[in-house]
Amino acid sequence: MKKTVLTVSSANMDLNMRVNEAPLKGQTILGDSYSYVPGGKGANSAITLAKLGAHSVLCAALGNDANGTALKKVYNGFGIDTSCILTVNDYPTGLAAVTVEADGANRIAVFSGANSMLTPEHAVSSIKASSPDAVFCQFEIPFETVRAVSEYCHENSVPLFIDAGPADPSLPIEKLAPVFVFSPNETETELFTGISPSDEESCIQAVNRLSERVKARYYVIKLGSRGAGVYDNGNFTVIPTYDVKVVDTTAAGDSFTAALTLEYIRTEDILHSCRYGNAVASVAVSRPGAGESVPDSKELEDFLHKNGITL
């Protein structure tokens, strides 16, 4: 039977522009191409979960506008349960301007729009309505909503996985109730702790600092091309990534943590789940776009077989 994962997070329309290199301040450059694609950390994650075989439920806020209508149609096409999506009249659908450089690196500016109207009450009612096996959150929505979700999940023994991006050093993350997995990337780790996780020693120092602010069963630091570092009751393990040609890193972190979430509630094996997440993210970064770059289960199986990878 499919596992149900509720994603409580953001949904945007992305304006993707491919450029040779990012412009300097005050500089105008000519791009290679542009496209409008579904984006937002939450929607990317919900799409990942649906493509990998979960019953994926998305709790997000969209504007009552053309972008909102188009995005909801896309989500339905992926098989996402959209019954918990909130439509608001006074704010437009969130928009992200994404520049993707020749080496696959991206720079993103986000206008939150309707995402700022995702309330704690709506999020908690969505958990009650969907009865998920796990809840997945990010910080691209109001912090009070994430805090309310953490409290409800803790009180009702629902595993909560937090992808800790985007990071703001002023976020009072110590107000979160204990969570199951807390997963920042390298930049987010440094913003929350003041420590750059450049090697194993600094990773452990950073996790120790994180644990003073956020209580979690596992801490998983996304280390970019180095893979992921897993901290489990004093043990730190680096799970290396897989060698692919990087085209676009836009959905790398979102797809990794969403895939980890699903595989953990299937297997209850954190190291295996991180290897699974690394494989999903490796395929995603080898293709352009956000949610649409994520592999489905068959594409992932083909990638593993072709590369002789055993998870």
- pLDDT tens across 246-271, in order? 887 777 889 999 999 999 999 999 99
What is residue 223's predicted lDDT score, i.e. its pLDDT? 93
Q: Is the bond into 132 cis (omega within 30 degrees of 0)?
A: no
Report if residue 203 sits inside a domain: yes
pLDDT: which is higher, 168 or 151: 151
Q: Is residue 214 part of a domain?
A: yes
Confidence bin at 78 (pLDDT 50/70/90): very high
Q: Is a pLDDT exceeding 80 seen at residue 203?
A: yes
**Domain CATH code at residue 268:** 3.40.1190.20
Asked whether residue 255 is assigned to any structural domain, the reply reads yes
Q: Do the domain assignments include residue 251?
A: yes
Sign of CA dihedral 136, 123, 111, 35: positive
In this prediction, residues 70-93 reach a mean pLDDT of 97
The one-letter code for the residue type at 113 is G
The answer as to whether 175 is a domain residue is: yes
User: Which of 50-59, 97-106, 159-168, 223-232 has the least mean pLDDT?
Assistant: 97-106
pLDDT at 277 over 80: yes
Residue 191, in any domain of the structure: yes
pLDDT of residue 236: 94
| Res 16: pLDDT | 83
Token duo for residue 128 = 């009650």
User: 7-16 pLDDT, tens per residue?
Assistant: 999 999 988 8
Range of the domain at 87: 4-306
Overall domain count for the chain: 1
Phi, psi of 181, deg, nearest 5: -130, 135
Q: Which residue has the higher pLDDT, 109 or 49?
A: 49
311 in a structural domain: no
Burial of 113 (0-12, 13-18, 19+ CB in 10 A): buried
Question: What is the model's pLDDT at position 27?
Answer: 84
Nearest Cα residue to 135 out of 173, 94, 86, 84: 84
User: Distance (Å, rounded) from C-alpha 120 to C-alpha 44?
Assistant: 21
37-41, 64-68, 176-180: least confidently modelled range? 37-41
116 assigned to some structural domain: yes
Is the full-model pTM beyond 0.85? yes
Using one digit for the tens of pLDDT, what is the confidence trace for 119-129?
999 999 999 99
